[in-house]
Amino acid sequence: MIPVTGVSGETIAVLGLGRSGLTAARALREGGATVLCWDDNPAARDTAETEGFEVRDLMKQGAFDGIAALITSPGIPHLYPAPNPVIARAYEAGIPVDNDIGLFFRSYATRAWEKFDTSPKVIAVTGSNGKSTTSALIHHVLVDAGRPAQLAGNIGRGVLDLDPAIDGEVVVLELSSYQTDLARSLTPDVAVFTNLSPDHLDRHAGFGGYFAAKRRLFAEGGPDRAVIGVDEVEGRYLAAQMAEGAADDRVIRVSSGTKLTGPGWSVFARKGFLAETRKGRQVASIDLRGIKGLPGAHNHQNACAAYAAARALGLAPRQIEAALKTFPGLPHRSQLIAEADGIAFVNDSKATNVDSAVMALRAYERIRWICGGLQKEGGLDALAAETGNVRKAYVIGREAAQFALGLGGVEAQVCTTMAAAVEAAMQEAEPGDTVLLAPAAASFDQYDNFELRGDDFVAEVTARL
């Protein structure tokens, strides 16, 4: 655990007692604070009381008297579409509002570091798609190279649940826009921006607010090195904002599909090959085509970002290449779960929006596509130009029929349930086909989260093999 510093003797309120909230409460108490907890869920309040925390309804008159700060969980709206009533009360009372990410960055470094030969580092990864894979891949590369490393944030453990730093350790954090938007302290050594596409727009009052939340990691974080995907205009803008000039190698530009030129530091992938260039010269190249854990252009972009972050820490190209080849991939993210009779079965349940589904569709040929669920804003129009490899769609979800209508010219079968979709796809699949779960939609109409949806797909496939 990372004890929170600077809170000894203070009274701190914690709103939301899920994984990050309860961990924050423990870390605050470890730092000497008196912690008051609140959650609308009675079961969560009972858990906090069992651990000895005082539970206080923060909506009651005078509830914020004597409170120095409010720590809130990332899933709770703090500004748009409207602040949670408790957070609004904190604002009215002039109480600072923070989250566990802010607490981590202000507490991670300690005086014990003075005795280390090599100071610990923090790599923070944000963006719309590929954050989890990029973060896990960076962690995998570091561990494979013999560097002590921990992985946390929006993936794996809560940030304050990490072990205190050891000599030369690297912490890799996946950070969502919810986390970067509110954190009062953001000081990564290396910051990574993968890409940008519309998501969570209600929480940020539109696309500009969404980008602004992610930009904070760079503009306010002041990283020593910035790894920035430049395939969208926002990334190019951000790179230009961070660099003092075209040759400033504190910024490493990353692309998938575009050859990057110029005097700066770049890492890009084209036709399955990763290339690193510095000062206008190529210094390394890696063939990504045969790496099963990183299929498709979107994963090649993730590989470029992870490669660049590892190079920023001084790892050699061949060390990174060896690690890329042993990366197993992540559950629910282009996860190859089985191959039988010449048919591949791939679980990409994490493709919860149209843009991530497009990336999955581009990665495979001859696709039996299982899709559908709770549609997000923007509709399905962007899928129309990306379905050339789809032999047939098998649509799940409560509104499967309506979803199928939005697929345009793709032959689609309304299945509603995962079991029916897997059964139909497996009966019709032929050698060379890929049965791909890439829903292009949220899971909440049928599942509590995308992980459970992916687990259901895996279970249904496994039961029939």
- Count of the separate structural domains present in the chain: 3
Rounded to 5°, the CA angle 94-10-74 comes to: 60
User: How many other C-beta atoms can be found within 10 angstroms of the C-beta atom of residue 23?
Assistant: 22
**In CATH, what number is assigned to the domain containing residue 72?**
3.40.50.720
Whether 6 is in a domain gets the answer no
DSSP letter, residue 382: G
Same domain for 157 and 229: yes
Higher pLDDT, 330 or 115: 115
Whether 204 is in a domain gets the answer yes
How does residue 108 score in pLDDT terms, banded at 50, 70 and 90? very high
Q: Which of 45, 67, 98 is the last residue of a domain?
A: 98
Question: What are the pLDDT digits (tens) for 138-150?
Answer: 999 999 999 999 9
Distance CA 278, CA 462 (A): 47
Same domain for 15 and 120: no
pLDDT at 420: 98
The residue to which tokens 């992916």 are assigned: 454
Question: What are the pLDDT digits (tens) for 319-353?
Answer: 999 999 999 888 898 888 999 999 999 999 999 98
Same domain for 382 and 285: no
**In CATH, what number is assigned to the domain containing residue 347?**
3.90.190.20
Same domain for 93 and 107: no
Same domain for 450 and 381: yes
CA distances from 213 to 11, 70, 111, 177 (A): 28, 20, 31, 5
The 3-state DSSP class for residue 37 equals: strand
Count how many residues are written for the chain. 465
DSSP letter, residue 88: H
pLDDT at 154: 87
Q: Which residues are annotated binding-site positions for ATP?
A: 127-133
Same domain for 448 and 344: yes
Q: Taking the alpha carbons of 104, 45, 155, 315 in that order, is the dihedral positive or negative?
A: positive
**In CATH, what number is assigned to the domain containing residue 159?**
3.40.1190.10
Q: Which of 272, 290, 325 is the last residue of a domain?
A: 325
Same domain for 121 and 21: no
Question: What are the pLDDT digits (tens) for 81-95?
Answer: 999 999 999 999 999
Same domain for 110 and 42: no
Distance CA 4, CA 108 (A): 8
pLDDT at 382: 82
pLDDT at 91: 97
343-347 and 434-437 strand pairing: parallel
Question: What are the pLDDT digits (tens) for 150-198?
Answer: 999 988 789 999 999 999 999 999 999 999 999 999 999 999 999 998 8
Least confident range from 46-50, 90-94, 356-360, 411-415: namely 356-360
Q: Which of 270, 295, 325 is the last residue of a domain?
A: 325
Whether 3 is in a domain gets the answer no
Q: Which residues are annotated binding-site positions?
A: 127-133
Mean pLDDT of the region 358-386 = 89
Mean pLDDT of the region 74-85 = 95
Whether 23 is in a domain gets the answer yes
Least confident range from 100-109, 118-127, 289-298, 368-377: namely 289-298
List, in sequence order, the alpha helices (H) in 157-295.
Answer: 177-182, 201-204, 207-219, 233-242
DSSP letter, residue 163: P
Domain with 352 in it: 335-464
How much of the chain, in percent, has pLDDT values that exceed 70? 100
How many helices (H) and strands (E) would you count in the chain? Answer: 15, 20
pLDDT at 242: 97
Same domain for 117 and 57: no
The 3-state DSSP class for residue 70 equals: strand
Distance CA 17, CA 152 (A): 18
How much of the chain, in percent, has pLDDT values that exceed 90? 87
Instruction: Classify each residue of 347-362 as buried b or exposed e, where b means 16 or more C-beta atoms within 10 Å of its C-beta.
Output: bbbbbbbbbbbbbbbe
pLDDT at 192: 98
Beta bridge partners, 387, equal none
Least confident range from 92-101, 278-287, 294-303: namely 294-303
Please give the single-letter amino acid code of residue 281: R
- In this predicted structure, the answer to whether residue 377 has a pLDDT above a threshold of 80 is no
Whether 350 is in a domain gets the answer yes
Same domain for 233 and 375: no
Least confident range from 9-23, 95-109, 364-378: namely 364-378
Whether 1 is in a domain gets the answer no
Least confident range from 113-122, 353-362, 456-465: namely 353-362
Distance CA 183, CA 219 (A): 13
pLDDT at 209: 96
Higher pLDDT, 447 or 376: 447
How does residue 19 score in pLDDT terms, banded at 50, 70 and 90? confident
Same domain for 118 and 87: no
The 3-state DSSP class for residue 249 equals: coil
Whether 2 is in a domain gets the answer no
How does residue 263 score in pLDDT terms, banded at 50, 70 and 90? very high
Mean pLDDT of the region 25-54 = 96
How does residue 409 score in pLDDT terms, banded at 50, 70 and 90? confident
pLDDT at 429: 97
User: How many other C-beta atoms can be found within 10 angstroms of the C-beta atom of residue 208?
Assistant: 11
Whether 206 is in a domain gets the answer yes
Same domain for 122 and 196: yes
Higher pLDDT, 81 or 382: 81
pLDDT at 298: 86
What mean pLDDT, rounded, does the chain reach?
Answer: 95
CB 358 within 8 A of CB 386: yes
pTM score: 0.86
Rounded to 5°, the CA angle 283-287-289 comes to: 155
